[in-house]
Amino acid sequence: MNIKRKRPTIRQVAEASGVSTQTVSRVINNRPDVADNTRKRVKNVIEEIGYQPSAIARSLIRNRSYTLGVLTAGLKYIGPNRTLNGITTTAEEVGYSLLLKELPHYNANDIEPIINEFISRHVDGIIWAAPEIGDNRAWVEDFSNDLNIPFVFLTMAPREGLSIISVDNYYGGQLAMSHLIENSYEHIAHISGPMEWWEAQERFKAWKDGVHEAGRDDSERCWSEGNWSSASGRDAAEDLFSKYPEMDAIFAANDQMALGALSVIHNRGLAVPDDIAVVGFDNIAESGYFWPSLTTIQHDNIQVGTLAVEELIRMIGATEEDEDLECQVTMLKPELLVRKSSLKT
């Protein structure tokens, strides 16, 4: 005969600790109004008897679902994948579960059914983690006044009235260009990402402004567009060799395309960086093992996800307390990581 062991109750924890059930609840919810010795005693009892707070009861008490809606896209790419990793890890640490939806395609603007489903599942807030591409943020203008639920947007241009977490892609591009210009490279070409992506536009703008300010050629012959893949970086590098043969440096908008460019340079019997320098963007795990090791722009997509959860929980708390939601924009500053691909011997 199978006998199911009953779960310990909050009342049992209270009795064993010599406190009220309200005090146990305060300890469970990390409330500050509990004496340290009492908190320690209650936690010891919880561990000893194996008490596990009921997620359903906690939701009813605080009128929260402890669930966050997350809308993502492009998980095959490293950036969105890392961001989701930061979201899931941080949400778990603070006791939230996730309801995940992925856009069928980047430019999807029919988002009302998605938002309605999130709301019908009683999520406490929504992280819009799909990157800004083309006009896939056009819906925000129509919905912004009707969004009665906290929203945090990722990877998009700053906009008034929205909470946004993103990497400062323009600043990262400036770091790459300043490094190449300061090291006396005269003809700096650019391999951009797909130009409908906001990230690619910002990195392209940094390249164009950099060469223009340095009095160098910034015409169409000096850049070529890829799609973030190594194969597209290879094709773009071949295109650049045909129309800008005097180039002595390439700033690629991501590391994968930089890898494709390196393969073309090697196949042409040229040396990196003595003949042509290469700088990438993202600092993927493999970039230190390219030949030669790749100078790149390092930024932390995982931190973007972490900050998104923290910001959303702040907004949820403000909503609970009937406080005004103060939207804020956080732009994370990337760093230049110099390796052999841009250092002349």
pLDDT, tens digit, 9 for 90 and up, residues 282-338: 999 999 999 999 999 999 999 999 999 999 999 988 877 666 778 899 999 999 999
Q: For 193, what's the count of Cα atoms within 13 Å in the CB-facing half-sphere?
A: 23
CATH topology of domain 67-168+302-332: Rossmann fold (3.40.50)
Helix axes 10-17, 36-49, angle to 10 degrees: 130
Q: Do domains 10-53 and 67-168+302-332 have the same CATH topology?
A: no
- Helix H, strand E, coil C: the string for 232-289 is HHHHHHHHHHHHCCCCCEEEECCHHHHHHHHHHHHHCCCCCCCCCEEECCECCCCHHH
Label the pairing between strands 296-298 and 335-337: antiparallel
Q: Shortest CA distance to 310 belongs to which of 143, 116, 68?
A: 68
Beta-bridge partners for 329: 164
The arithmetic mean of pLDDT across residues 258-279, rounded, is 97
Query: In one letter, which amino acid is 143?
Result: F
Instruction: Tell me which CATH homologous superfamily contains domain 169-298+336-342.
Output: Response regulator (3.40.50.2300)
The radius of gyration computed from the CA coordinates of the chain, to the nearest angstrom, equals: 26
**What is the CATH class of 10-53?**
mainly alpha
Amino acid 149: pLDDT: 85
pLDDT, tens digit, 9 for 90 and up, residues 173-206: 999 999 999 999 999 999 999 999 999 999 999 9
* CA atoms of 225 and 97, how far apart (whole Å): 39
Assigned token pair, 174 = 């400036």
Residue 321 φ/ψ, nearest 5 degrees: -90, 5
pLDDT, tens digit, 9 for 90 and up, residues 87-146: 999 998 888 899 999 887 777 777 888 888 898 888 999 999 999 998 888 888 766 556
Query: In one letter, which amino acid is 125?
Result: G
b/e code 218-231 from CB counts within 10 Å (16+ = b): beeebbbbbbbbbe
**Per-residue pLDDT for 4 more than 50?**
no
Q: Where are the domains of the chain?
A: 10-53, 67-168+302-332, 169-298+336-342
Contact 51, 13 (CB under 8 A): yes
